[in-house]
Amino acid sequence: MRSKNKIFIAPRLLALFLLINLCIACAWGTSLSPGAWVAEEDRISIMDGGPHKGSWKTRDLTIHYEYQGAAPNLQVTGVVELANYIPMGFSVLEHLHLNIHFLEASGIVLEAKRIRSFGSRLSISMLRDLNFNSRFDLPQDTVAFAFSYSGKASTGGVPGGASSSRGRTDWDFWKVPRRSPPK
């Protein structure tokens, strides 16, 4: 009788584990969903005219950008520079997705758009400048914007595994506005 109960407990625990993870994922939201919040230090205020230049630096990369604001449009150009640890430790850029988030005054995301995707299993030694040039229509009440990204670099080798026995190591890196505003 006891072994029969043990058999039914394992699937229930697995189902509970999956349900908890699903709830956490839904509560966190996606990086591109309106309603996410961006910390003040990651916001870039939109000023009329321009061009206005700046740099946004994270642990993984630096974005050197230039923008021109003329309501209801925003022209953004720039170059992405990968942090030294990526080209020094990895040989392939699997992908890098660069996004822009349009923010209202309190830092809440009104809308998000993909700026550009880079990589697609490109050799890092073959990468030149990671340039972008995009024009966007600004949502009403937009006063700032922010960047986000998600990427993956690898050592090459056999796709599909992060184990050294398969000859490949993958590294996922990202920065996205998922935090909740402080209360």
Give the count of beta carbons closer than 10 Å to the beta carbon of residue 7.
9
Q: Are residues 100 and 11 in the same domain?
A: no
* pLDDT value of residue 70: 79
Instruction: Identify which has the larger pLDDT, 174 or 19.
Output: 174
Domain-located, residue 45: yes
- Residue 156 predicted with pLDDT over 90: no
Q: What is the DSSP letter of 139?
A: P
Domain-located, residue 98: yes
Q: Are residues 162 and 95 in the same domain?
A: yes
Q: Are residues 13 and 23 in the same domain?
A: yes
Q: What digits encode the pLDDT tens for the residues 7-63? A: 566 556 445 444 444 333 333 334 457 889 999 999 999 998 889 999 999 999 999
Number of structural domains the chain divides into: 2
* pLDDT value of residue 55: 98
Q: Are residues 123 and 163 in the same domain?
A: yes
Nearest to 151 by CA among 170, 130, 131, 173: 173
Q: Are residues 14 and 61 in the same domain?
A: no
pTM equals 0.77
- Residue 67 predicted with pLDDT over 50: yes
Q: Are residues 39 and 19 in the same domain?
A: no
Confidence of residue 127 (pLDDT cuts 50, 70, 90): confident
Q: Are residues 112 and 135 in the same domain?
A: yes
- Residue 112 predicted with pLDDT over 90: yes
CATH number of the domain where residue 164 is located: 2.60.210
CB 11 within 8 A of CB 114: no
Give the count of beta carbons closer than 10 Å to the beta carbon of residue 128.
5
Q: Are residues 45 and 77 in the same domain?
A: yes
Range of the domain at 44: 31-175
Give the count of beta carbons closer than 10 Å to the beta carbon of residue 146.
23
